[in-house]
Amino acid sequence: MKATPAPKRRTAAKARSRRAAAKRNGVPATRLTRQRVPMRTVRDPLDVRRAVARWRAAGLRVGFVPTMGAIHAGHLSLVARARRGCDRVVASIFVNPLQFGPAEDFRRYPRPLAKDQALLQEAGVHLLWAPGVEGIYPQGHCTRVRVLGLTEVLEGAARPGHFEGVTTVVARLLQVVQPHELWLGQKDAQQARVIEQMVRDLGLDVNVRRGPTIREPDGLALSSRNQYLDRVDRKQALALSRGLTEARRRLGAGERVPQRLIAAIRRVWRAYPRVREDYVAVVDANTLQPVRKVNGRILVALAARVGPARLIDNFEWEPR
């Protein structure tokens, strides 16, 4: 009988050792890194803590993608990035009441949970946390998290109290999940910057990562609120990305005066009569304060209402 070569024996022994460690820590005894395993859906934060604790005890790296559901390719791109850098991926679906104003769309925000579960399962999420409000804000919860300075401008000025809701819920999610990596999307650039600051200021042990904005072939940034657009408004919504494209073109051609960039965006928008501006701004990408001249990394950010939807978009740019 032909002997098995030594390298294979060593590989088999290592695999047995990994399976034994997995069994001791409650980890599925399949391949321990980046494999496709059945997704569990849980509501109780204790179930999340226990699962993540087992993974961390087994030496596995955990990535986290928080969402409000209505999953689209932008969310799935964050899952894919988390999978590349981590061994296990946790996603959450929670429509957070604290970040919606009284006249905003909390009640009608899309909640297609079964569809979302199927998409996240296919993308390779290992654990989906879909809590109710009581799972995030138990009775008597009265603590709020605020980040000063970064939250009073742009979205913060247009939606008072919004970022207090965002930082409060993200702090709570991180306290439960305790991941190694937190993945956020560039489309919500101000939100990502605020959370980066919160994590740094509170000394939270997590690496905040950003994934790029994912767009439709015609340039429209993917958003759960795109579902509100009818056929006419969908075409009008292209004003946002086309305005940004013009600003980027002008920056590449040497324009460095913010007001001229803003004026160029508004000229593009004249061809889209159903677009109602909330703001167009050129700000420092770190402080989010307006700049007088483009001589460092900037964020060109805008928000507008198109039909029943309020949409945002942006890009970051730095002179070479």
Q: List alpha helices for 203-294, DSSP H.
A: 231-236, 238-252, 258-269
pLDDT the model gives residue 35: 57
CATH of the domain spanning 31-211, picked from 3.10.50.40, 3.40.50.620, 2.60.40.10, 3.20.20.110: 3.40.50.620
Question: Strand, coil or helix: what is 4?
Answer: coil
- Residue pLDDT, tens place only, 257-273: 999 999 999 999 999 99
Residue 219's pLDDT is what?
98
CA atoms within 13 A on the CB side of 313: 26
Report whether 27 contacts 60 (CB < 8 A): yes
Domain boundaries, the chain: 31-211, 224-317
Q: For residue 2, how many C-alpha atoms fall within 13 Å in the half-sphere facing its CB?
A: 2
**Active site members:** 75
Q: What is the pLDDT of residue 211?
A: 98
pLDDT at 238 > cutoff 60: yes
Q: Is the pLDDT of residue 1 over 80?
A: no
The mean pLDDT value for 172-180 works out to: 98
> Which class is 224-317 in CATH?
alpha beta
State pLDDT tens for residues 103-116.
899 999 999 999 99
pLDDT in tens, 27-81: 333 334 455 678 999 999 999 999 999 999 999 999 999 999 999 999 999 999 9
Is the model's pLDDT at 20 over the cut of 50? no
Query: Measuring CA to CA, how many Å separate 145 from each of 9, 66, 133, 136?
Result: 54, 17, 17, 14
Q: Are 127 and 88 in contact (CB under 8 A)?
A: yes
Averaged pLDDT score across all residues of the chain: 91
Mean pLDDT of 166-185: 98
